Structure 1
Amino acid sequence: MLLYSRFQWMEKLIRQVQVSAVGLMVLALLLGGGAAILDRIFPPNLARYHDLARVVVDRHGMPLRYYLSRDESFRLPVLSTGVDSGYLEMLVAYEDKRFYEHPGVDVLALLRASGQILGSGRVVSGASTLTMQAARLLEPRPRTLANKLVEMARALQLERHYSKEEILSLYLTLAPFGGNVEGVEAGAQVLLGRPPRNLTPTEAALLVALPQSPTRLRPDRHPLAARAARDKVLTRVAEPLEIEAGHLTRLLAEDLPRGRSEQPFIAPLLAERMQRGHPDKKLIKTTLDGALQQGLEQLVRRSASDLGPAVSISVLVVENASREVRAYIGSADFRAEESQGQVDMVSAVRSPGSTLKPLIYGLAFERGLAHPASRVNDAPRPFGAYMPKNFQDRYYGEVDLTEALRKSLNVPAVLLLERLGPVNFVERLRRNKISMDFPDDSQPALPVALGGVGMQLEDLVRLYAAMADDGVVRPLVFGPEDLQGNKETQEDSPLLKPGVRAQIRQILLGVDRPVFAASGKAKNVAYKTGTSYGFRDAWALGFNDTYSVGVWIGRPDGTPNPGHYGYKTAAPLMFEVFDALPENPGGKPRAKLVTVSLEDPDLPPGLQYIDRPLAERGERSRPGPRILFPLSGAEIPLDLVERGIPLQAEGGSRPYRWIINGRPYQTEQVQGFSTAPRLMPDGLGFTEITLVDALGRKSTSQVRFVKEAASVLKRSAPTL
């Protein structure tokens, strides 16, 4: 019986143990299931890790400009493989020496820290692992015991989802380095002026120490505290990293970096344009050459300093074969308020002045309406109500079209555009995706030839790059994404045929280089200048076998800039830009220059002289026009003028055109004196009267209106 009772007792005990074990298993399963449910309901929040600063880089990866994250932090992505290995070893040795062994929470460190608190009544050393710190950086919370437990749970959760290298990347990206600077990549950029790829031991120690108290340990504000923290790291890791005593002494004697490095601010307006165009990208690549960009920005700032505080400059450099933009300067100084430096003049709409003339000539040549050897009379003439004038009112008489384009004469350009049709010309450019703006949706008219249209520097450079290359007007390439759009135009028909492009290039190569342009290495530059009405815009656009360059100078607010025009102001800077360009980037084969003849002694009669009928050509042997009344030098009293002064002339080829003080005088053309037009004077003073006949020949008379005339004049003056 006794033996039976003992067996009964043992059986009960076994059943109790079994029940307890089952209970523990059930509890473990419940806890595990609960943890899995919580893990699914509350996954790790990586929003801060993915909210990174954005960077725009040049074609070689050099940073041009950084943009802060959405929470206004300078936080750059960091992978553990992209950081100096010595820094990683030092970080783990100092912060979490069992990082690669524990599951996110270091139980031994917790027991040690708890014992120190019980023994001394204060915190002697922390027990936070790098995983726990990463959890706290992902979701910052006040330092309380409850939040510490949450961090521990989150650390276990991170270890369940991510590898040690990924967790390390979380910490490296979010660790604070003072102010809004977060992550070791940004910290190294600000403190050391370079990425954390190859660090000295003292640099690595400083970067390890700073996240402990980034505000209190900033080297630029608290150098003594920062040095003490750095030395503490070096001393503690010396043994595990086997740093010899002598070497440690030398390291402790090294100085700290005191200042903060300025972040790059290169091509700010292009960077702004690129980041707006790629809002979801963190790394935005461009085709710029960063070193070239920096050099040209300095050149532009020097040039702008001589032009006045309200004047800005924009420059665009494009490689012809690829249409890739190598330099983009939207303004002379981004931070200048008086010159509105934040206005991007590369994309601003301005009057192009005479820069479209090469296209007008080229299309006229291509359609057989003219030839470079065709002759034209450069003289004042009306086109309906429109009366174009040459720069400084200087006319050259009979010239060929080669000379007319080189001298940028206005009347021949307007004449050719009249033959082409301004609407046809503008539509031809628009079909090539060139934007042209007209006020109030008005129709294109003859003033287009002289800048009566709104255009962008960007589009003008596209046109000149097409003339320099294969004639196809392709989009400019600002980044890798634009290459596809460039390829889509490969099969487009050229704007101008090869022979015509060669003619235009030959003509523009013959334009005199400004005498005030610095002599340099730039050779074989074909270029055209332009000046808009009222000296508001000064332009120079040119190309050689490798590059096309556009320069604009003016005031962004559109006010005049007297005394500055394309040939004087923009062209010298354009040649300095060409001088700064590498001669043959990447060893690419140069484009072959095609030489063509601009003379043709066998032109058909219709192309020999393009601005008058054949029947009128013999009239050039006849005497020119002569003003009979009023005679030059006469003084005419206003009290004798009642119905105006009759304008009388003889000779030349009719019909006549009268120009009073440089403005066309709107009268009906007459044949005799009896019905001669009459001029009503504006008031006292001198009046210049110019007579122009149908062949462009002219006669001038200057008279003076006075209150009282000399008696001899009164006696001899006819009744007016």
Structure 2
Amino acid sequence: SGGSTLTMQAARLLEPRPRTLLAKAQQILRAVQIDAHLSKGEVLDLYLTLAPYGGNLEGIRAASLAWFGKEPKVLTTGEAALLVALPQSPERRRPDRFPKMAKAARDRILQTLADRGHITQTEAREAMAEPIPERRIPFPFLAPHLSERLARSAPASTATVRATIDRTVQMKLEDLARRESRFVDDMATIAVIAVDTASGQVIGHLGGHDFWGVAGQIDLTRRARSPGSTLKPFIYGLAFDDLMIHPLTLIDDKPTVFGDYAPRNFDRAFQGTVSITQALQMSLNVPAVALLDRVGPLKLAGRLRDAGATLVFPTRGAVPSLPLALGGVGISLEDLTTLYAAIPGGGVVRPLRFEVGQGGGATSRLFGEQAAYYLAKILRGSPLPDGWSMGQGVIRARAVGFKTGTSYGYRDAWAIGFSPRYTVGVWVGRADGSTRPGYFGRNAAAPILLKAFECLPPEPQGLPLPPPGIIVAQNAAQLPRALQRFRTRGQEKAGLRAIQPPRISFPPDGSVVGLPREGPRQTMALKARGGEGTLRWIINGVPVTDGQGPQIFWTPDSTGFSQLTVVDGAGRSDTVRVRFKTD
């Protein structure tokens, strides 16, 4: 301004003062200090960082984004010339208010550059023909919850944090959430996570659909909430792993008391005898609790924790029990989506990745490939929300499997789904946890989930091939006798009091077995006792097809931990974990 040097202008912007002789003298002193410590290039950087560009804009990057929607390094000659002209009179040359004055100032800059040989006259004329921006472009404000989280966790020396968020996907998801928010009550919010299953990269993240609304700055993807029925697939997955059930196995849905616990279905009705596939697709409560009673609540909770999930029970130190099957625990949308990614991921849980270059972290196996395949096939047949077509011949962009859930008192509505490539989790509810009668997972969250998949990049058509070990049958009668009908723990005890369950006698649980460093691997005997009928073996989730009975021979193919399971004809099992290492 006036006859001030660039350094004096930087000093004035650095320490704004009233326009007095004393202030001018202080600016001169500060300018001398700046010149003594900074190079000319650094002085220019300081000036461009602080310079005013109209309204509340300060700094060339903010101006470049606001007026042109791009970073300074990709500005055209005409755009750069306008930003050079603006700080000299930022209000009188504002392009959105005084476009003629802004154009005249820009053109003078361009003509000066041409006269001094920095650009050609032709380049100057072409730049002068560029239009002046008519309005400011809103600043990017995508994934604010995740952006704030990453910024806070980054080291102080980190200048830039690159998130794995896909900009196009994020914009579509945020627009979807804003549109869908009209159909939820005023106090409710929508949280969404979209994950690339193979890599674990989070490509879309909404901690809440309205960052500036009531409790909008709470990241609800990380808050523990009751998951309702969304944990049921993991119960079925563990039961599949133990050869306790098959998708065609018959199971009873009838009034049943488990000690002092008597679960009922959401609609208060019972369906009688159904298949395992129908029980999971219809989200029946009694079959889920009966399966958990056999699998064991401690085993389920331990497996989920081993996969990285944080479980919050109603009281500190509470022991997992049967209500776990129906949402009697707290878990976050982030953790639940991570667990569901194991279904299209072949049973393997991969930690979520939020930053580019972030390590993938250690993976863990939640259940075997066969169980993952069964679950994916069953959940792809889940009933769609009211109003969504299920007719034959309807073309769909991708095959989506999903499960919904509703917590007690209609506080939380969930829908978690997957396609062959992506996994998406949706939660709808109030930040304060208050009830929302009439809103449940199937009508409040599932429609948003299915629309969210439409926001994702296209993926190849077709489904994964079944893994080895799948039992193929047309109906329950074609299954092995132990898999034809599920027996509850009470039924099992009543019929098998005189017969001891199978137990692995060798190798013992927790043992360490040495393997030679070189040469062929040693074959070892696996031994079991007890059990009813034929004993079948499962190694690392894969049924052994070339041997059965109380003793088989097996050759370990690698070092590390292996899980050995034996199952009798009644579906009872025993499992040990053995570590193999080289001598």
TM-score, scaled relative to structure 2: 0.73
Query: What is the CA-CA distance between 1:285 and the residue it aligns to?
Result: 1.0
| 1:574 Cα offset (Å) | 1.6
Q: Partner of 1:524: helix, strand, or coil?
A: coil
Equivalent residue, structure 1, for 2:362: 489
Alignment of 1:629-668 (within 5 A): none
Between stretches 545-554 and 594-603, larger displacement belongs to: 594-603
- In the alignment, what sits opposite 1:109? none
Are the equivalent residues in 2 in contact too, given 1:390–1:411 (CA < 8 A)? yes
Q: Deviations over 1:329-373 (max 9, x none)?
A: 222332333xx4333221122111111111001112222433333
What is the correspondence of 1:96-175 to structure 2 with a 5 Å cutoff? 126=3, 128-140=4-16, 162-175=38-51
What's the offset of the Cα at 1:435? 0.7
Matched, 1:523 2:393: no
Question: Is residue 395 from structure 1 mapped to residue 270 from structure 2 by the alignment?
Answer: yes
Bigger Rg, which one = 1
1:299 and 2:171 aligned: no
Structure 1 residues 244, 598: CA separation in 2 closer, same or farther (over 3 Å shift)?
closer
Separation in structure 2 between the aligned mates of residue 253 and residue 497 of structure 1, nearest angstrom: 65
Q: CA deviation at 1:238?
A: 6.2
Does residue 272 of structure 1 match 2:144? no
The residue number in structure 1 matching 2:164 is 287
1:349 maps to: 224
Of residues 207-216 and 354-363 in structure 1, the stretch that sits farther from structure 2 once superposed is 207-216
Moved more, 539-548 or 599-608: 599-608
CA drift of 1:376 comes to 2.0
* 1:503–1:598 Cα contact (<8 Å) kept: no
CA contact (8 A) 2:428 2:445 kept: yes
Please tell me whether residue 447 in structure 1 is matched to residue 323 in structure 2: yes
1:507 aligns with 2:402: no
Equivalent pair of 2:169/2:204 in contact (CA under 8 Å)? yes
Is 1:176 the equivalent of 2:52?
Answer: yes
Q: Look up the equivalent residue of 1:299 and give its one-letter code.
A: L
1:417 equivalenced with 2:292 (yes/no): yes
Q: Is 1:315 equivalent to 2:192 in the alignment?
A: yes
2:157 pairs with 1:261? no
Q: For 2:491, which of 610, 613, 623 is the aligned residue?
A: 613
Q: Residues 453, 253 of structure 1: CA spacing in aligned structure 2 closer, same or farther, 3 A cutoff?
A: closer
The equivalent of 2:424 in structure 1 is: 549
Indicate yes or no: 2:343 matched with 1:467: yes
Give structure 1 stretches of 5+ with no counterpart: 1-94, 96-124, 618-720
Amino acid at match of 2:168: A
User: What's the CA shift for 1:131?
Assistant: 3.9
The 8 Å contact of residues 324 and 476 in structure 1, kept in 2 or not, is answered as yes
Alignment-derived partner of residue 372 in structure 1? 247
SS of equivalent to 1:356: helix
The structural deviation recorded for 1:321 is: 0.5
Q: Quick one: higher RCO (CA 8 Å, sep 6+), 1 or 2?
A: 2
Residue equivalent to 2:305: 430
Aligned-partner Cα distance in 1 for 2:10–2:412 = 56
Q: Which residue of 2 aligns with 1:679?
A: none
Q: Give the Cα–Cα distance (whole angstroms) in 2 for the partners of residues 324 and 397 of structure 1.
A: 43
Residue of structure 2 in register with 1:594 after alignment: 466
Partner Cα separation in structure 1 for residue 81 and residue 176 of structure 2: 41
Matches within 5 A, 1:224-235: 230=106, 233=109
Task: Structure 2: give runs of 5+ residues left out of the alignment.
Answer: 496-583
Alpha-carbon distance in 2 for matches of 1:408, 1:254: 61
Distance 1:146 1:445, change over 3 A: same
2:49 match: secondary structure: helix
| C-alpha distance in 2 between matches for 1:298 and 1:356 | 29
Q: In 2, distance between residues paired with 1:514 and 1:130?
A: 65
**Quick one: structure 1 residues 194 and 371, their matched pair in 2 at CA, closer, same or farther if it must change by over 3 Å?**
closer
Q: For the residues of structure 1 that align with 2:431 and 2:16, how far apart are their CA atoms?
A: 47
Indicate which of 345, 369, 381 corresponds to 1:498. 369
RMSD of aligned residue pairs (Cα, Å): 3.5
- Using a 3 Å threshold, how does the CA distance of structure 1 residues 531 and 210 change in structure 2: closer, same or farther? same
State the number of aligned residues.
483
Q: Over residues 612-665 of structure 1, what are the superposed CA-to-partner deviations in whole Å (9 max), with x where a residue is unaligned?
A: 537989xxxxxxxxxxxxxxxxxxxxxxxxxxxxxxxxxxxxxxxxxxxxxxxx
Contact 1:311 1:554 in 2 (8 A): yes
CA distance in 1, matches of 2:129, 2:375: 69
- Assess, with a 3 A threshold, how the Cα gap between structure 1 residues 155 and 395 changes in structure 2: closer, same or farther: same
TM-aligned CA distance change 1:152 to 1:477, over 3 Å: same
- Closer, same or farther: CA 414–255 of 1 in aligned 2, 3 Å: closer
Query: What's the CA shift for 1:148?
Result: 5.8
1:554 Cα deviation after fit: 2.4
Q: Secondary structure at the match of 2:239?
A: helix
- The 2-side partners of 1:453 and 1:200 are apart by 57
Q: Is the 8 A contact 2:244 2:486 kept in 1?
A: no
> 1:673-692, aligned counterparts within 5 Å?
none
Question: Any idea what the Cα deviations from partners look like across 1:214-267, whole Å, max 9, x if unmatched?
Answer: 355544566676566556656766643588999989988987545332211222
**Does 2:412 align with 1:537?**
yes
SS in 2 for 1:343: coil
Deviation string 1:588-627 (CA, Å, 9 cap, x unpaired) is: x99833274464634244863312537989xxxxxxxxxx
Q: CA deviation at 1:182?
A: 2.4
Greater percentage in helix: 1
What is the rounded CA distance, in whole Å, between the counterparts of 2:356 and 2:70 in structure 1?
26
Paired position in structure 2 for 1:559: 434
Alignment correspondent of 1:196: 72
Counterpart CA distance in 2 for 1:210 and 1:426 is 62
Query: Kindly tell me: are residues 301 and 151 of structure 1, through their superposed partners in 2, closer, same or farther at Cα, counting changes over 3 Å?
Result: closer
Q: CA distance change for structure 1 residues 198 and 405 in 2, over 3 Å: closer, same or farther? A: closer
Pairwise CA distance, 1:463: 0.6
Q: Does structure 2 retain, via aligned residues, the 8 Å contact 1:516–1:572?
A: no
Q: Are 2:249 and 2:483, in contact at CA under 8 Å, matched by a contact in 1? A: no
Change in 2 beyond 3 A, CA 1:521/1:243: same
Once residues 388 and 330 of structure 1 are traced to their aligned partners in structure 2, the CA distance between those partners, rounded to angstroms, is 33
Distance in 1, matches of 2:216 and 2:338, equals 24
Give the corresponding residue for 1:383: 258
C-alpha contact 2:246 2:483 (8 A) present in aligned 1: no
Cα distance, 1:452 vs structure 2 = 1.0
